[in-house]
Structure 1
C-alpha cells in the first residue's frame, strides 16, 4: 500500500496552478541541493540503467535524471509532498517513479519527459538540445544583436527560447509548439530560470506568429518515425519535411537583415546530402545569404538498424544560418 500524503492548498488556486507552483518549488529545492544531470542519448541511457545495481534509485540524480524507480524513504517528506502536489508521481512495483526529468544546461535546470519518451506528447531533451543551444549562444556572442522580436519554433522544453531570452532581456521571445505539454514545460522552466520575456504559444510552426521577426531559432524533429510522434517525426523526404517548411516560412517572416538559425539532422545517402540539395533548389532565387555547417558527422547511429533507414549511411547534425539581405 502507498501511504496517503496530504498538503495545504490555497482554495482560490486552480489545480494546474498548484501543480505548477509545486514543480517550480521542487526545482528550487533541487538547486539548493546542488543537483545536476547531463541527459544522454536514449541508447546510452538504456545501457546505464541495464547495469547491475541500477534497477532502483539510490539518490535524486537517479530519480530525476536516470528515471529509475525509488522507494518512498529515499526522498525527503517535503520533497515527496511537492512531487505529489505537482502530479508527477507514478506507482511502480513497491515504489514510485517520477514522470519528468530535470536536466542541467549551464546553470539552467530544465524539466522534460521521463525516460523512455514513448508517449506521443513526450517533451524531448538530449544531446541535440545542448548542441542547439550552444550554436544559438555562439551566434549571439559573435553578433551581439539588439533583437526586438524572436521565435523558437518547436520549442519543446523551452531550452532555446529561455537561453535566448536571458541573453536578450529586452526581446520578446515567442516559444511555439504544437504540443500543449511542451508549452507547459516551457512555462515551468521559464519560471525556474526567472525569465519573463518568453511567450509560450500553441501553434504549428510559424503559422500563427504575427509580425516580423529579427531572429528565428529552430531544432525541429528530423527522424523518420513510423508512429509519427510529434517530438520525433520530421516527415517529408528522409525526415527533412519540417526543416524545409521552417525555411520556407522564415523567408516570409524574417525582418530585413533577420536571421534563421536552424539546427537539424540530415540523413546522408551514398555520400550525398539530400537536404542541402533541397535547400539549394529552394534558395537559389531568394534574396538571402546562407551558411551550412556540419556540427557532428554521426549522431543517433542506432537508428540505422531500422528499415526506414536502409538507404542511409549516417545521420549528421547540421546548422543552417540564413540571413535576409
Structure 2
C-alpha cells in the first residue's frame, strides 16, 4: 500500500484544534446554516439591511463584515487562535464559513470563493452526499473500502463513514486546504475512519474500492480555478474519474458521480462522452438529471454561449459481483 494509506493520521495543528473548537461551540449554541449558490448569496447580501452582520449566522454563514460586540469575546478569541479572523479597523471578517448537513457542521472557505485554493460547499454538496447515502442504503454487500475523489470539505467521505462505520474511507484531493478542512471536519464530526490523503484522482492510493464517490468541478471556468474548472468542456475531469473507477472498482463495487453539463440543442454531451468512456467495460450504469436548470447566470458569459441550459446529473455505475 502507499505511504498515504499506511501513514498515521496527522495530528491537528494548534490552529486546526482551535477551528474544531470553534465548530463545536457554534454547534452547541444551535448554529445552523444552509449554503446557497454564489449568485443567491450575492443577491441576499446586496440587500441594504444585510450590509453588516448582526449575529453568528451572518458572520459564519453569510460572510458579512462585523465589528466588536457582535460575537461573544470567547468566540473571537477562538477565531484568533484558529487564524480565521481578519481585522481592518472596526470591519472584521471571518475567513471561513460553517454549513450544516446531516446533523454536522462543515467548515469551508468564506464567500466569495475567488482564491485558487478555495474549498467549496454548496447545494451540489448536499445533492452528492444524499446520492452517496442512498447508494449505501441500497447496497446488499458491506463497504470495506471507500474513497471520495476531490473530497473538498470531506462531507461525502464523512457521510459514508457514518453509515459504514467498519469501512476504511479515504478522502483524497490535490488541494492542501481541502485536506486541512477535511481533517478538521472529520474531527468535528467525531469520525475516526476517514483518512485525508493527497492524491491526484486515485494515482496516490493503491487497491480497489467497494465505493467511489465524487463531486468534481464541472464548470467551464475561464479563470481556471481548480475548485471549479472541469476542463474546456466542463466535463473532462468527470470523464477522468469514470476512467479511474472503471479500473479500480472492486467486484460488486459502486460509483456515485455527481456532475454537471451544458445542454446543447437538447443534447447532453456528458452523457454521450460517458457512454463512450464506459463502452466495452463490464460496468452497469445509469444516468439521470437531478436538476435540469442550475447556475443560469453562467449563460450570460461567453463560456456557455453555446448552451441552452446547465443541468446537474448523477451517474451511478456498478461492477458485477463475482
Tell whether the structures are fold-level matches, with TM greater than 0.5: yes
* Residue in structure 2 matched with residue 5 of structure 1 by the alignment: none
Q: Are the equivalent residues in 2 in contact too, given 1:69–1:92 (CA < 8 A)?
A: no
Alignment partner of 1:141 out of 132, 137, 143: 137
Q: Give 5+ residue unaligned stretches, structure 2.
A: 1-9
* Residue in structure 1 matched with residue 274 of structure 2 by the alignment: 279
Q: How does 1:49-88 map to 2 (within 5 A)?
A: 49-88=45-84
* Residue in structure 1 matched with residue 319 of structure 2 by the alignment: 324
TM-score (norm 2): 0.94
Q: Are the equivalent residues in 1 in contact too, given 2:105–2:188 (CA < 8 A)?
A: yes
1:24 aligns with 2:47: no
The higher-RCO structure (CA 8 Å, 6+ apart) is: 2
Q: Over residues 136-193 of structure 1, what are the superposed CA-to-partner deviations in whole Å (9 max), with x where a residue is unaligned?
A: 1111122254111110000001100001011111101110001000000000000000
Runs of 4+ in structure 1 off by over 3 angstroms are none
| Aligned length, in residue pairs | 311
Partners of 1:168 and 1:144 in 2: how far apart?
12
- CA shift, 1:95, in A, is 2.2
Q: How does 1:159-238 map to 2 (within 5 A)?
A: 159-236=155-232, 238=233
TM-score (norm 1): 0.93
1:315 aligns with 2:320: no
Alignment partner of 2:284 out of 285, 289, 301: 289
Partners of 1:144 and 1:161 in 2: how far apart?
20
1:257 aligns with 2:237: no
Partners of 1:182 and 1:319 in 2: how far apart?
23
Q: Over residues 60-93 of structure 1, what are the superposed CA-to-partner deviations in whole Å (9 max), with x where a residue is unaligned?
A: 0000000001111111111110000000011245
Q: Are the equivalent residues in 2 in contact too, given 1:205–1:246 (CA < 8 A)?
A: yes
Q: Are the equivalent residues in 1 in contact too, given 2:38–2:112 (CA < 8 A)?
A: yes
